[in-house]
A and B are shown apart, each in its own frame.
Chain A
Amino acid sequence: MMEQAGRQIELLEMSAPANFPYNYSCGKIGSFFFKKLRDEKKIYGRKCPRCKKVYIPPRPVCGPCFAPTDEWVEVGPGGVLECFTVVFFGFLDPMTGKKRPVPYGYGLIRLDHADSRIQHFLSENDPKKLRVGMRMEAVFNQEREGKLSDIKWFQPVE
């Protein structure tokens, strides 16, 4: 309620839930990558012919060189944890319309043979058990559908 010219005005709010349906094409490069995850539990990066960098996530063009990438290179499944966080605050996940369960760990992992990093979930959600520089390994789901979540998470290797 707000006071205006000596009278109370009731202030209304309009609640408007919205669902946006999208169908994203993974394109040729994304499709190759996700099928390899699904069918072979293998992770592939894409290599630039000019600067020789191997990119993950794979992409059609190397940004710095503006050159089309032209080669698939198998990377991982092991790598090094380069930074991490454990998320404690609750928030709405628009992918589900519900709160995302917390706490969860995620980080940037530099996979063996790759020159860029991948952002993914970590098996650990205690920040004290994680450290930068740790060796990590991809853990695949039993049931795989051809998406990034076919990798369940990365877990520390002894």
Chain B
Amino acid sequence: MAGRAAIIATGQTFHKSRRRDVNIVELIHEAVSACLQDAEMSPADLDAVLIGNMEHFEGVYNADLWAAAETGAYLKHAMKITTGGTTGASVAHAGYYHVASGMFNCVLCIGWEKQSDGDTTAGLIFQSDPLFERSNMAGAIGTFALAASEYMNKFGITEEQAARVAVKNRGNALNNPHAHLRRAVTVQDVLSSPMLASPIKLMDMCPTSDGACAIIVASEEVAKKKSPNRPAWFKALSTRHDQPFNSDLPLLINMRTLRDAAKDAYAQAGIVNPIKELDVAEFYEPCTFAELSWYEALGLCELGGGGKLMDSGATQMTGELPVNPSGGVISTNCIGATAMIRVAEAAIQLMGKGGARQVPGAKTALATGFGGSFWTEITILERD
């Protein structure tokens, strides 16, 4: 039987488009140091280090080795995990499995990306099928544009409803000192921002950020005896993959993998009415349209009702289920770290360390991870 495991500390860098003041390992070190400080620990307290990034973005395929000094992995059990956009969540999940197995007590998990060192869209084209999709796909923006086209057409979702997601999340980012884009925007700003790939405009899309995130996953014993923070316990985890081609997925944006993983995770956690029973959620929303559709996939409203739920205010900071108090991916996106930031921000809420972005009294938090041809990792955390 699996043991209990908790996130006992988090650390994040400050994010920018171009962190030219540091190299890759120095960037990673910033997040690791912040996390160790939050845990009041040193590398001697760790018995494993797990790390992940999007390899073809920077051409760095062995970060486990390359950053061993800066992560505290020197002569320790270390492992690299790369699953595309979900990488940060996969690393966190691997941290849970390491500890829940009873084989490790204290595991440092790291996600990072230094997009300015490489080329993101080229990297994503790299990742797509070499014979059928590489020549015509246009990175994440193109893929989400196709998805949004289908979503709008099928359910009558409007560009204004999508724009409201950006207004909400960019507004929330003002409360998060670690957010990359910290400037409030209006619906009109979003609608009049440059068209990237119809119907996705600049402000509908996440930025490219340089940054890193780290968390420490600990056993029940360590969490209860050594943690200076209130532990955020893992309550449910679920991962789903789908078909390899973008063109296979029956309704691109209302992800089949997310729907299925949510069902599984809710069953594990005993959640029947997620919008009532969850206190806070951090979505991996690469674009505005995705957040609307994922309200539906996560069972917060009926299929096609994402726009209306947005309009109702239920996902605002003052609403029934605040979504993305951190500002979300629309405000900060250092890809290999992004899915881990979702988990870390969920943990921060349960620790009560959210500062201006704190959802008062949050007890149960959900984090999603998105990757590649629309696969999913879901994490549900709770506090005692």
CB of A94 within 8 A of CB of B126, answer yes
* A57 in the interface (beta carbon within 8 A): yes
* A119 in the interface (beta carbon within 8 A): yes
Docked complex Cα distance between A82 and B150 (Å):
7
* A106 in the interface (beta carbon within 8 A): yes
Residues of A within 8 A of B130 (CB): 22, 24
List A64-113 residues whose CB lies under 8 Å from chain B: 82-89, 91-95, 100, 106-108
Residue from the set A16, A22, A83, A120 with the largest chain B CB neighbour count within 10 Å: A83
Residues of B within 8 A of A16 (CB): 59
* A149 in the interface (beta carbon within 8 A): yes
CB of B131 within 8 A of CB of A147, answer yes
30 A-B residue pairings within 8 Å (CB atoms) = A26-B131, A34-B131, A55-B248, A57-B131, A63-B242, A63-B243, A83-B149, A84-B149, A85-B138, A85-B145, A85-B146, A85-B198, A85-B200, A87-B138, A87-B141, A88-B195, A88-B197, A89-B141, A92-B122, A94-B123, A95-B135, A106-B146, A108-B146, A116-B248, A117-B248, A119-B132, A119-B133, A119-B137, A120-B136, A127-B198
* B147 in the interface (beta carbon within 8 A): yes
CB of A116 within 8 A of CB of B125, answer no
* B372 in the interface (beta carbon within 8 A): no
Docked complex Cα distance between A12 and B261 (Å):
45
1/0 contact trace for B130-161 toward A, CB 8 Å? Answer: 11111111110110011101100100000000
Docked complex Cα distance between A28 and B103 (Å):
45
The total of Cβ contacts below 8 Å across the A-B interface reads 115
* A118 in the interface (beta carbon within 8 A): yes
1/0 contact trace for B246-283 toward A, CB 8 Å? Answer: 11100010000000000000000000000000000000
Residues of B within 8 A of A106 (CB): 136-138, 142, 146
* A44 in the interface (beta carbon within 8 A): no
Number of interface residues of B (CB under 8 A): 42
Residue from the set B121, B142, B149, B252 with the largest chain A CB neighbour count within 10 Å: B149
* A132 in the interface (beta carbon within 8 A): yes
* B20 in the interface (beta carbon within 8 A): yes
* A51 in the interface (beta carbon within 8 A): no
Docked complex Cα distance between A124 and B248 (Å):
23
Docked complex Cα distance between A94 and B20 (Å):
24
Closest 7 CB pairs of A and B: A85-B145, A83-B150, A83-B149, A91-B121, A117-B247, A94-B122, A132-B153
* A18 in the interface (beta carbon within 8 A): yes
Q: In the complex where A91-B138, A91-B139, A118-B247 touch, is A24 in contact with B131 (Cβ < 8 A)?
A: yes
* Chain A contacts to B: CB under 8 angstroms: 2, 11, 13, 16, 18, 22, 24, 26, 30, 34, 55-57, 63, 82-89, 91-95, 100, 106-108, 116-121, 127, 132-133, 147-149
Q: What is the minimal beta-carbon distance from A108 to any residue of chain B, in angstroms?
A: 5
CB of B149 within 8 A of CB of A94, answer no
* Chain B contacts to A: CB under 8 angstroms: 20-21, 59, 119, 121-123, 125-126, 129-139, 141-142, 145-147, 149-150, 153, 194-200, 242-243, 245-248, 252
Residues of B within 8 A of A118 (CB): 132, 247
Q: What is the minimal beta-carbon distance from A8 to any residue of chain B, in angstroms?
A: 13
Contact with B136, one of A34, A63, A86, A121 (Cβ below 8 angstroms):
A121
Docked complex Cα distance between A82 and B247 (Å):
10
Chain B minimum-CB-distance residue to A82: B150
Docked complex Cα distance between A85 and B246 (Å):
14
Docked complex Cα distance between A96 and B198 (Å):
24
Residues of A within 8 A of B150 (CB): 82-83, 108, 132
Q: In the complex where A83-B153, A119-B246 touch, is A89 in contact with B196 (Cβ < 8 A)?
A: yes
CB of A85 within 8 A of CB of B142, answer yes
Docked complex Cα distance between A83 and B135 (Å):
18
Residues of B within 8 A of A92 (CB): 119, 121-122
Residue from the set A26, A85, A127 with the largest chain B CB neighbour count within 10 Å: A85
Residues of B within 8 A of A89 (CB): 138, 141, 194, 196-197
Residues of A within 8 A of B131 (CB): 24, 26, 30, 34, 57, 147-148
Residues of B within 8 A of A120 (CB): 136
Residues of A within 8 A of B129 (CB): 57
Docked complex Cα distance between A108 and B154 (Å):
15
Docked complex Cα distance between A127 and B199 (Å):
9
Contact with A85, one of B21, B119, B135, B149 (Cβ below 8 angstroms):
B149
Residues of A within 8 A of B194 (CB): 88-89
Q: What is the minimal beta-carbon distance from B49 to any residue of chain A, in angstroms?
A: 26
